[in-house]
Structures are given as C-alpha cells and as structure tokens.
Amino acid sequence: MTLQDVLLSVVGLVAVAGGLAVVTTKQLVRAGLWLVVALGAVAVEFLLLGAEFAAWVQVLIYVGAVVVLLLFAVMLTRAPIGRSTDLDRPALPAALVGAASGLGLSALFIAVFGQFRVAPPAVGTAERIGDAVFSDWVLPFEVLSILLLAALVGAIVLSRPSAPPADALADAVAPGSSR
C-alpha cells in the first residue's frame, strides 16, 4: 500500500459513508448536506487520480450548483425542518437491489482489476482535456450545448406560473379584445 492507496481508501470510505447518510437520514435538509460530503469526497478522489480539471468542475457544478438547486427545492416544497416520518418505502426490495448491484459490481471489479498496479498519474492540466474535447469530441460537445438549451427552455416552461382558467381568460379577453 502506497501513500496514494491509503489516501484513496480513506477518501473512498468518506464518500461511501456520506452516501449512506444521504439515503438513510430522516431529515431532508441534512440529506442535502451529506450529499455535499459525498460529492466532495468524489472530487478529492478525482484529484488523487490526476483528473484535476474534472475535480474542479465537480466542485463547481455539483457542490456549487446542483446541491444548491436541491436545497432550493427542499425549501420551495415546504419540507419540514426536523424529522419527517413518511420518507421511506419498505426496505427489503430496495436493500436487495442495492446490495446486489453494489456488492456484485465490487466482486466483479476485484476479480478483474484486483492485481492491477498502475503508475501514479501525472496531474493532468486542462490543456489535454481541451485538446481532446475540441478535436475528437467536438460533435458531442455541440450536441450537448443544444441539450442544455432545450433543458433550459423546458425548465422555464414547466415552472412558469399557471395561466388563469380558460373561461376566465375568455371573459377577460372578449370585452376588451386586447389580445
């Protein structure tokens, strides 16, 4: 075990513990804060694996934007501060599926990659990623920008306040015919 192995293990344990807290806590706001712990630990793993750019994007977009959005949603849906009683379904089917996928994948990875040793990766700069994005992956990159635009428009349409009912609208329109 080298120093990097130890660090990867410790940070991995933090990530798994944070994830477990997200799916078991009874308090909605705390679930969001535990999510910060789990996502931050994954960002540190990215750093240890030499993916510096991906790590900072993870911190900016996940911890900075996604978690804030989720906490906004928690507040806008008037979630109770403190314990909620009816957050969970029965545990057994979920535990079966979760344990089967998690432990099964773990066993597969250990069987296949258990003996692998790789040289510690050099800390990658954004330059190599920029080269890759704008040479090999230009088309997916552009398609992604269209997807973001579509998601933006969709979110605006969905969250617009509802118009008044149709008959009221017709009453309002008919006399003045302002529309």
Partner 1 sequence: MIRPVIPLVTAALLFGIGAYGVLRRRNAVLVLMSVELMLNAVNLILVTGDTLRERVTGQVFALFVIVIAAAEVGVGLALVLRLFRLRQDINTDQVALDDEPRAAAPSEEPALALDGEQA
Are 18 and 26 in contact by the 8 Å Cβ rule? The answer is no
Is residue 151 part of the contact set for partner 1 (CB under 8 A)? yes
3-state secondary structure of 34: helix
Q: Which of 39, 41, 42 is nearest to 66 (CA)?
A: 39
CB of 138 to partner 1, least distance (A): 11
Contacts to partner 1 from residues 84-123, by CB under 8 A? 84, 86-89, 91, 93-95, 97-103, 105-106, 108-110, 113-114, 116-121
| SS (HEC) of 143-165 | HHHHHHHHHHHHHHHHHCCCCCC
Instruction: Look at the block and give the residue holding tokens 């006399």.
Output: 175
Shortest CB 177 distance to partner 1, Å: 18
Least distance to partner 1 from the beta carbon of 18, Å?
Answer: 9
Within 32-61, the residues that bind partner 1 by CB under 8 A are 32, 35, 38-39, 42, 45-46, 49-51, 53-54, 57-58, 61
Please report whether residue 140 would count as binding partner 1 according to CB under 8 A: yes
Which of 83, 139, 152, 175 is close enough to bind partner 1 by CB under 8 A? 152
Integer Cα distance of 108 and 128 in angstroms: 31
